[in-house]
Amino acid sequence: MNSKQNNKSQDQNTEKLKEIPKWTRKYAQNRTLTSLAVIVITMLIGMVVATLSYLAGAAFIKGNMNVFRVCIVVLFAILVFVLIIRVSKFGGVIIHRWIDQLIYDDEGTASMPEPKLTKKKKWLGYVVGPIVGSCIIGTMYLGMEGYIAFKYMQPVSALYLVPFLVHLYFQQRPRIGPLVLICPILYTIHAILILAGVPIFFTGNLCMLNLALPAFGYTFLAHVIAHVYSRYALKKLKGLTHLEGDTANGD
């Protein structure tokens, strides 16, 4: 009887070991803290740029050219900094790696394979990004000029942003997990709620936030959820891999 029970328990333990690759993958795909740090930096830069642009505009109108010049110089410096962060060849990879090391130094590095992109897919990425960027600027401009009602700015942007974010996920698989899809899902729900009459939009000078706030907010939220899930996956993984006493230190 005891022997049968032992066999059964050994079988269950062996079956559990087969789950190790699954939890390892889930952990590696959801290590989003570095991206989260980059998102926060981008949000802060965005806020500084918006404030400086407003100040520069106000100074120009009032004829205070000294303040205007200072604002333009600082904006140019920020543009250079953003280029360094965003364009890998200028050191974005180094900064990304430095943040990664700062955050994950204690627990080490585990990574999923980079997506295999054909030349055609790479070129598609170079084309689609600027097109979506132009669409965002276009929507904002049309919104401010009154061609698109404030209410419909976010739903209009959902028409191109949601497919773009879903495309990004499929392009980056298996390096990132499906939890990042929370962002386009929430963005779609936000648009549907606005169309249903829920007043979750900005008007007047704050109309730019109709796109910026949901886009950054939901991306941030998706990354936080993914990070929490990675902690859970790591806990599960350690539960499966930790050995005690002689087994751990034996040959």
Partner 1 sequence: MEIDKIIHEPVRLRIMMILDGLEQADFNFLVTTLGLTRGNLNRHIEKLESAGYLKVKRSFKGKVRNTSYQITQKGSTALAQYWENLDLIRQSVQS
User: Should residue 30 be labelled a site residue for partner 1 when binding is judged by CB under 8 A?
Assistant: no
Looking at 1, 2, 12, 18, which residue binds partner 1 (CB under 8 A)? 18
C-beta of 61: minimal distance to partner 1 in Å? Answer: 47
How far apart CA 149 and CA 129 sit, in angstroms, is: 25
Looking at 5, 12, 89, 114, which residue binds partner 1 (CB under 8 A)? 114
| φ, ψ of residue 193 in degrees (nearest 5) | -60, -40
**Stretch of residues binding partner 1 (CB under 8 A), selected from 82-90, 99-107, 186-194, 210-218:** 99-107
Looking at 6, 51, 53, 101, which residue binds partner 1 (CB under 8 A)? 101
Got the DSSP string for 54-108?
HHHHHHHHHT-HHHHHHHHHHHHHHHHHHHHHH-GGGTHHHHHHHHHHHHHTTT-
C-beta of 153: minimal distance to partner 1 in Å? Answer: 41
Looking at 106, 130, 196, 245, which residue binds partner 1 (CB under 8 A)? 106
Question: Whole-angstrom distance between the N-terminal and C-terminal Cα of the chain?
Answer: 31
Residues 189-248 that bind partner 1 (CB under 8 A): 234, 237-238, 240-243, 247-248
How far apart CA 225 and CA 215 sit, in angstroms, is: 16
Minimal CA–CA distance to 219: which of 188, 183, 184, 175? 183
Looking at 6, 9, 11, 77, which residue binds partner 1 (CB under 8 A)? 11
Q: Give Cβ neighbours of residue 180 (< 8 Å, ≥ 6 apart).
A: 32, 169, 222, 223, 226
C-beta of 247: minimal distance to partner 1 in Å? Answer: 5
Q: Which residues bind partner 1 (CB under 8 A)?
A: 7, 11, 14, 17-18, 20-25, 28, 97-98, 101, 105-114, 234, 237-238, 240-243, 247-251
